[in-house]
Amino acid sequence: MNDARRAVAVLDRLRRFLATFPIARAALWTATRTSQRAAVAAVLVVGNLVGLITGGNRSGKTEAGAMLAVAFALGRDHPAVVAWAQVNRLDVSRIQRGPGVVCCSALTGNDSRRVQREKVAAYLPAGTEWTNRSGAGEATARLPGGGVIIFKSNDQGRRAFQGAAWHFLWMDEEHDEPVFNEARMRLADHGGLAVFTMTPLKGRTWVWRRFSERTHEDYEPGAADYALNSRDNPHVPQDYLDRLLSNYGAHERAAREQGSFVALEGRVFGDFARAIHVIPSRPIPSSWTRYQGWDFGTRNPACVLWAALDPADDVLHVYREHYRAGWTTKQHAEHVTEVETCSACRGEPERSEDDALVQASPRGWESVHPAGVFGFGGDELRCVACVEHPGRTEPEPEWRVADPAAKGDRKTLARHHDIRTIPADNAVRSGLNDVAERLALDVEGRPHLVIHDSCRNTIAEAEGYVWDTTRRKGNDADAPLKRNDHAMDVLRYMCRQLSRRSGGGLGATA
């Protein structure tokens, strides 16, 4: 064989090798500020037990996790892993020599199927055999040569993570602490490594305390962390990120862009300003769609908000509030009914001409007799004050949304007052995002949520609504302080309901 033919044969073998083992040519991205390569190098430091790659949305967290999972499944002596280490100038001695057993976990079974399995599949060697690759429940990938990757999810709960020993555990996005504690036991036999890849959307939770904050008493030695900035990922267009990030308040942006654990302190709606978000009360055109929200309370104030959407520019106007402590649900219901009932006809827009009420105020009624002629009785008269929304002061709301926990109150409204409510989605952070999204200014500098100045309690609550900083030590995600939050709860329910109908909004991105 001459040199040329030998070279062609070598190239051909190389091509086949790369086609068979896509991990061998997988390049982690690098930039001057942050880099995916540095993140992977940081978690692979020998001696690490836990590695934490935080990152903004679209920063490349999942991609990095997928490469690590396949590298551990193949083992560091595998030529494809040797090549991957060379391409990315990585020291891979933290990875065990031969094929390994790997567990990949997503938040939900759906995330596992739609995102995690597919990302991993892109780096798996040809000839890998799958069990249940696109089905619900757990899945397994068996690599030629012996490596195994098992796919689980946080929503299966702690018990699903009992069982065999693993070399590597990858959790994509923030899992529950009990699930992690159970899962990490599987690593003890092999001295395996656990890696989290996540955007710290929940603030300073257990992950921050145990694996990021070195001065915290819960901090565990042997943990390494690295934060990727979304802006540095060369594979994601900047204008896409601009659009994605423009919808969030300052604290949320820090997590979603820089991947940093933000202490949620100070005002929840830091962007809220009277000069921008409060406007003089004015009548709402009857063509606008109305919505209503309810939060119940007896010792605490109950709050009902009336809102309407300006169809021209998608600005939600909160134009009336009912805010009162010490009343029963019955009293609140009667008040709301009173407010919404036409005062001219008292809710009965059609009457006959000889009706006593018609006699008392003849100017409020007009004949609806087909001939248009007043006769001696028998003619139907119609209330002039409410022709566009018979019997009411304004159009019926498209929906009334209410605190989902208050089943009894909702039942009372429906049974005794004919006020039908739908249960609100009480996902707090999603709801807050939906409100913040509307408060944020659009490209023309306008907000999409304004409050009429008659709604004094709602305005006061929006200004005083702060994060609860006493929750730090708990395991729960950061949340607003539960004080003077009644109108804020209603606002959350309403904005959530609106954004769910329009497809979830950007808050849906994990």
Ligand X SMILES: Nc1ncnc2c1ncn2[C@@H]1O[C@H](COP(=O)(O)OP(=O)(O)OP(=O)(O)O)[C@@H](O)[C@H]1O
**Type of residue found at 418:** D
Look up tokens 């006020």; give the residue.
419
Residue 124 interacts with ligand X (CB under 6 A): yes or no: no
Piece in contact with ligand X (CB under 6 A), picked from 53-61, 153-161, 339-347, 366-374 = 53-61
Piece in contact with Mg ion (CB under 5 A), picked from 17-25, 62-70, 234-242, 307-315 = 62-70
**Number of residues lying near ligand X (CB under 6 A):** 18
In angstroms, how far is CA 75 from the centroid of its own chain?
36
Q: How far apart are CA 429 and CA 272, in angstroms?
A: 17
With CB under 5 to 8 Å by kind, the binding choice for 36 among Mg ion, ligand X, none is: ligand X
With CB under 5 to 8 Å by kind, the binding choice for 233 among Mg ion, ligand X, none is: ligand X
Phi, psi of 7, rounded to the nearest 5 degrees = -65, -40
With CB under 5 to 8 Å by kind, the binding choice for 458 among ligand X, Mg ion, none is: none
**Which is nearest to 288 in space by CA: 444, 398, 383?**
398
DSSP string spanning 321-378?
EEEESS--HHHHHHHHHHHHB-TTTTT--EEETT-HHHHH-GGGEEE--TT----SS-
The site string for ligand X over 180-219 (x = CB under 6 A, - otherwise) reads -------------------x--------------------
Residue 199 interacts with Mg ion (CB under 5 A): yes or no: no
Structural tokens at position 9: 């044969």
Q: How far apart are CA 152 and CA 140, in angstroms?
A: 9
Q: Which of residues 57-116 bind ligand X (CB under 6 A)?
A: 57-63
Closest to ligand X by CB, 55 vs 480, is 55
Structural tokens at position 472: 């730090």
The site string for ligand X over 230-259 (x = CB under 6 A, - otherwise) reads ---x-xx-----------------------
Going from the C-alpha of 235 to that of each of 27, 57, 198, 372, 456, the distances in angstroms are 12, 13, 18, 71, 47
With CB under 5 to 8 Å by kind, the binding choice for 112 among Mg ion, ligand X, none is: none
Closest to Mg ion by CB, 194 vs 307, is 194
Q: Which of residues 291-330 bind ligand X (CB under 6 A)?
A: none
Calculate the dihedral angle through the C-alpha atoms of 310, 314, 317, 318, rounding to the nearest 10 degrees: 130
The site string for ligand X over 364-393 (x = CB under 6 A, - otherwise) reads ------------------------------
Closest to ligand X by CB, 251 vs 492, is 251
Closest to ligand X by CB, 7 vs 27, is 27
With CB under 5 to 8 Å by kind, the binding choice for 412 among Mg ion, ligand X, none is: none
**Which is nearest to 62 in space by CA: 503, 506, 509, 430?**
509
Least distance in angstroms from the C-beta of 238 to ligand X = 13
With CB under 5 to 8 Å by kind, the binding choice for 235 among Mg ion, ligand X, none is: ligand X
**Number of residues lying near Mg ion (CB under 5 A):** 1
Whether 455 and 321 have beta carbons less than 8 Å apart is answered as yes
Look up tokens 């605190």; give the residue.
403
Q: CB within 8 A of 349, min separation 6: which ones?
A: 342, 382, 383, 386, 387, 390, 391
Residue 29 interacts with ligand X (CB under 6 A): yes or no: yes
The site string for ligand X over 491-510 (x = CB under 6 A, - otherwise) reads ------------------xx
Q: In the 8-state DSSP scheme, what is residue 257? A: I
Residue 62 interacts with Mg ion (CB under 5 A): yes or no: yes
Residue 31 interacts with ligand X (CB under 6 A): yes or no: no
Least distance in angstroms from the C-beta of 157 to ligand X = 23
Closest to Mg ion by CB, 106 vs 383, is 106
Least distance in angstroms from the C-beta of 227 to ligand X = 11
- H helices present in 155-311, as ranges: 177-185, 206-211, 238-245, 250-253, 274-277
Whether 505 and 495 have beta carbons less than 8 Å apart is answered as no
Whether 121 and 62 have beta carbons less than 8 Å apart is answered as no
**Type of residue found at 210:** R
Residue 22 interacts with ligand X (CB under 6 A): yes or no: no
Closest to ligand X by CB, 41 vs 487, is 41
Piece in contact with Mg ion (CB under 5 A), picked from 37-45, 58-66, 211-219, 318-326 = 58-66
Whether 369 and 351 have beta carbons less than 8 Å apart is answered as no
Whether 93 and 47 have beta carbons less than 8 Å apart is answered as no
Least distance in angstroms from the C-beta of 25 to Mg ion = 22
Q: How far apart are CA 270 and CA 57, in angstroms?
A: 22
Closest to ligand X by CB, 62 vs 458, is 62
Whether 70 and 62 have beta carbons less than 8 Å apart is answered as no
Q: How far apart are CA 233 and CA 424, in angstroms?
A: 37
Least distance in angstroms from the C-beta of 214 to ligand X = 24
Least distance in angstroms from the C-beta of 480 to ligand X = 24
Q: In the 8-state DSSP scheme, what is residue 448? A: S
Q: How many angstroms separate the first and last alpha carbons of the chain?
A: 56
With CB under 5 to 8 Å by kind, the binding choice for 63 among ligand X, Mg ion, none is: ligand X
Least distance in angstroms from the C-beta of 457 to ligand X = 37
In angstroms, how far is CA 50 from the centroid of its own chain?
26
Whether 468 and 482 have beta carbons less than 8 Å apart is answered as yes
With CB under 5 to 8 Å by kind, the binding choice for 236 among ligand X, Mg ion, none is: ligand X
Piece in contact with ligand X (CB under 6 A), picked from 52-60, 126-134, 310-318, 436-444 = 52-60
Residue numbers at the binding site for ligand X (CB under 6 A):
27-29, 36, 55, 57-63, 199, 233, 235-236, 509-510
Contact positions vs Mg ion (CB under 5 A)? 62
